[in-house]
Amino acid sequence: MTAQRGRPRSFDRQAALERAALAFWEHGYETTSISDLTTALGIGAPSLYAAFGDKRQLFYEAVASYQATHGSFTARAMAEEPTARDAIVRILREAATEYTSPDHPRGCLVISAAQNCSPASADVAKALRDTRNKNLRLLEDRIRSDVDSGILPGDTDAHGLALFAAATTQGMSQQARDGAGREDLEAIAEAAVRALPQSSATACR
């Protein structure tokens, strides 16, 4: 095992990524300047470029850091809940808490950070859009699996239900950024849960 050569880095790379994620989360990709980032990270521009390549690569790494921490609750719900319905309910309820936490910016970074992009950074917008649409397809497949195995009613529209869950989540992120609190988002989540099909045989309330 070879020891690292040369002058050691003066900052914690992972901590810098987390600070970068907070900055992008708050203001978005294009509106967060390199100058903003060097201030937030407490390092000079050449250090930033040496460590992360360029602004785009730093953003992608910051998004990955976000997904591994604040944004991991959706993947956890998908992995741990026994049914698609349980996963949706848990995602909606945990989003209400996560999106309004006072410890970090409101809403979801993946949803909000690349909304307004110029053609020059269309690929960044596309990357987050692809992430959202991939999650949408994963949820749809999960719902379809439960329909096929009889856990959800046979007439359930898997595609439409996945779209509804995704749209509600994105609407909650938007509401959180517009000032809604945890109770507000919980009310949205519970209203959405009322629209979900029941688990086995459909029951009236």
Partner DNA sequence: TCCTTTCTCTAGCGATCACTACAGAAAGGA
Partner DNA sequence: TCCTTTCTGTAGTGATCGCTAGAGAAAGGA
DSSP 150-180: TSS-TT--HHHHHHHHHHHHHHHHHHHHTT-
- Say how far apart CA 196 and CA 60 lie, in whole Å: 34
Chain residues 89-128 in contact with its own copies, contact rule CB under 8 A: 111-119
Q: How many residues does the chain have?
A: 205
Contacts for 42 with CB less than 8 Å, ≥ 6 apart: 11
Question: What are 143's two structure tokens?
Answer: 């719902």
Which residues, at least 6 apart from 149, have a Cβ–Cβ distance to it below 8 Å? none
Interhelix angle for 34-41 vs 45-52, to 10°?
90
CB of 121 to DNA, least distance (A): 9
**Residue 47: partners with Cβ closer than 8 Å, 6 or more residues away:** 9, 10, 11
Compare residues 36 and 81 and give the one whose CB is closer to DNA: 36
- Which residue in 13, 190, 198, 200 binds its own copies (CB under 8 A)? 190
Among 9-17, 55-63, 138-146, 185-193, the segment contacting its own copies (CB under 8 A): 185-193
Q: Which positions from 35 through 94 interact with DNA, judged by CB under 7 A?
A: 35-36, 43-47, 49-51, 54-56
The single residue among 18, 81, 94, 157 that binds its own copies, judged by CB under 8 A, is 157
Other C-beta atoms within 10 Å of 5: how many? 6
Nearest distance, CB of residue 81 and its own copies, angstroms: 20
Min dist. Cβ of residue 3 to its own copies (A): 43
**Interface with DNA: number of residues (CB under 7 A):** 27
| Count, residues near its own copies per rule CB under 8 A | 49
Applying CB under 8 A, the residues found at the interface with its own copies are 27-33, 111-119, 129, 132-133, 157, 159-161, 163-164, 166-172, 174-175, 177-180, 184-185, 187-188, 190-192, 194-195, 204-205
Residues forming contacts to DNA in the complex (CB under 7 A) are 2-11, 30, 32-36, 43-47, 49-51, 54-56
